[in-house]
Structure 1
């Protein structure tokens, strides 16, 4: 199944996963860019944004848990997000953290907050519609093992 075929399925968990992948890139980029400011509050929020991006890599690309050495505690933490509702709540939590940067000063971290909120909304819609949690075959979901062999 190609990416275009997956997006035509109208399964919002797939939309959430792809928005999550975009969020990873944005979190890492704006986190690194903002860490060089001279505002201590923004430096803290940008470090949190970088850690969020790195955590989301393992949440959204389950294949990486098999090939990267991670601690059992981290593995257990990441596996908690194997359904739409927990993922929606996780994304909402990290999005709220980034939205709090507005209390300090407007910065590019708001872009990360917007995309994290969109991913949360996608997973929440999937949960509300009671759609089956599905991961992309491109990103390590069902069928990747057959593609490798």
Structure 2
């Protein structure tokens, strides 16, 4: 199935997965840039560090192939594997989005963009769960048998 065919399925979990990748990139980039800004405003450093940590969590959630390749602890693997249903993914993204929305308390910054995309991703996964759509991982990102192909 090509990427175009995946998007044509109208399955919100596919949309959520790709928005999750975009959220990961934004969290990493904005987290790094706000660490530099955080020197001026120290409380922003905490939210920037949380954004960077969120980006790595998202990477392992959305690209399941990495759990087989990267050496991680069994506790971390178990925690990531628990986030497998659409409801759990929606909840995880809602929590990460809420944390970034709270960054406004210290100072309005670029982390608002990360909060917006994390929230939109949570809404996509929630829509998939409410509509009763099964989670379908993108083949491009290592879902649906790609991990089994690597021996």
Question: Deviations along 1:50-105, whole A, 9 cap, x unmatched?
Answer: 00001110000000000000000100110011100000000000100000011111
For 1:67 and 1:121, the matched residues in 2 are separated by 30
Choose between structure 1 and 2: higher helix proportion.
Answer: 2
Structure 2 gaps of 5+ residues are none
Q: Does the 8 Å CA contact 2:65/2:147 hold for their aligned counterparts?
A: no
What TM-score, normalized by structure 2, do the two folds share? 0.95
Q: Which residue of 1 aligns with 2:121?
A: 119
2:33 is matched with: 33
Map of 1:142 onto structure 2: 144
Residue equivalent to 1:12: 12
For these two proteins, the number of residue pairs brought into alignment is: 149
Aligned to 1:130: 132
Whole-angstrom distance in 2 between the partners of 1:118 and 1:4:
21
SS at the partner of 2:107?
Answer: coil
Aligned counterpart in structure 2 of residue 90 of structure 1, from 92, 105, 124: 92
| Gap change, CA 1:39 and 1:90, over 3 Å in 2 | same
TM-score, normalised to structure 1, is: 0.96
CA-based RMSD of the aligned residues comes to 1.2
Measured in 2, the distance between the counterparts of 1:21 and 1:94 equals 14
Alignment partner of 1:80 is 2:82: yes
SS of the residue aligned with 2:71?
coil
Listed as ranges, the gaps of 5+ residues in structure 1 are none
How many angstroms does 1:143 deviate by?
Answer: 3.1
Shift of 1:145: 4.5
